[in-house]
Amino acid sequence: MHKEIATGTLRKIAEQAGAKDFDRFCDWIDNLS
């Protein structure tokens, strides 16, 4: 029952979190659940 988050939103979150590699950040998020 999860909704998909827009890529632009994820990029902003990654940037604010200090992520240097967006793809790795997305992989990390995917592996949380």
pLDDT at 1 (0 to 100): 54
pLDDT at 27 (0 to 100): 94
Q: Is the pLDDT higher at 11 or at 2?
A: 11
Q: What are 12-25's pLDDT values in tens digits?
A: 999 999 999 999 99
pLDDT at 3 (0 to 100): 82
Please give the structure tokens belonging to residue 9: 């939103």
Instruction: Locate the domains of the chain by residue range.
Output: 1-33
Q: Is the pLDDT higher at 2 or at 22?
A: 22
pTM: 0.70
16 contacts 22 by C-beta, under 8 angstroms = no
- Scanning 1-33, the segments in alpha helix (DSSP H) are 7-17, 22-30
Taking residue 31's Cβ as centre, other Cβ atoms within 10 Å add up to 7
pLDDT at 18 (0 to 100): 96
